[in-house]
Amino acid sequence: MKKVFLLMFCFLTAGTLFGQTSKEITFELQGIIPPVLTLSSDLSDVEVVDLVNAESAYLGKIVVYTNTKGLWTIVVKSKNGGQLVGQAPGNDDVYPYFFHFGTVDEINLSKEFSLTYNTLVPKTTVEYPIRVSYKRLEKLDVPVVSDVYSDIVTIQVTIT
């Protein structure tokens, strides 16, 4: 019995003393989240409003998301100073309108409009509904001719 035990002991210790090696790799795993600013909208490229039968139109909304704290500056600009301009050659008629952004009503875009919003918490999402209002065709102070009237509006969001 002693011989069997001694023989087993020799086999077991010989394997651990002579045949076993150990190696390891150590590494650090990191995940990087950069500052994110997302601006999305359900607006189409061209929004058509009814100037004959209506006095306002809901155009859609923009959604702003960020994962950083900071001061948002939202700037709204109109290419034609807050007026729809006749597109036919020789037509200088304009159709004035007011812009409505979020909770701010009747914005005159003859100058760019600026709004600031301070995010005190990271991971903030804010929705801004967008509407326009105007006089119906028959109530305009200065009549306009039949034509397509348009303006280009740009909304820019910056976080500092």
Q: Is the model's pLDDT at 142 over the cut of 70? A: yes
Indicate the domain borders of the chain. 52-159
- Collapsing DSSP to helix, strand or coil, 7 comes out as helix
Q: How far is residue 116's CA from residue 71's CA, in Å, rounded to a whole number?
A: 7
Are the beta carbons of 72 and 64 closer than 8 angstroms? Answer: yes
CA 37 distance to own-chain centroid? 6
Are the beta carbons of 72 and 117 closer than 8 angstroms? Answer: yes
pTM over 0.85: no
10 pLDDT tier (thresholds 50, 70, 90): low
Question: How large is the C-alpha radius of gyration of the chain?
Answer: 34
29 pLDDT tier (thresholds 50, 70, 90): very high
11 pLDDT tier (thresholds 50, 70, 90): low
Which tokens sit at 77?
């600009």
Which fold would CATH assign to domain 52-159?
A: Immunoglobulin-like (2.60.40)
- Collapsing DSSP to helix, strand or coil, 12 comes out as helix
Backbone φ and ψ of 2, nearest 5°: -65, -35
Q: How far is residue 51's CA from residue 128's CA, in Å, rounded to a whole number?
A: 23
**Per-residue confidence (pLDDT) for residue 15, from 0 to 100:** 55
Q: What is the pLDDT of residues 78-117, one digit of tens each?
A: 999 999 999 999 999 999 999 999 999 999 999 999 999 8
Environment class of residue 11 by beta-carbon count within 10 Å: exposed (0-12), middle (13-18) or buried (19+)? exposed
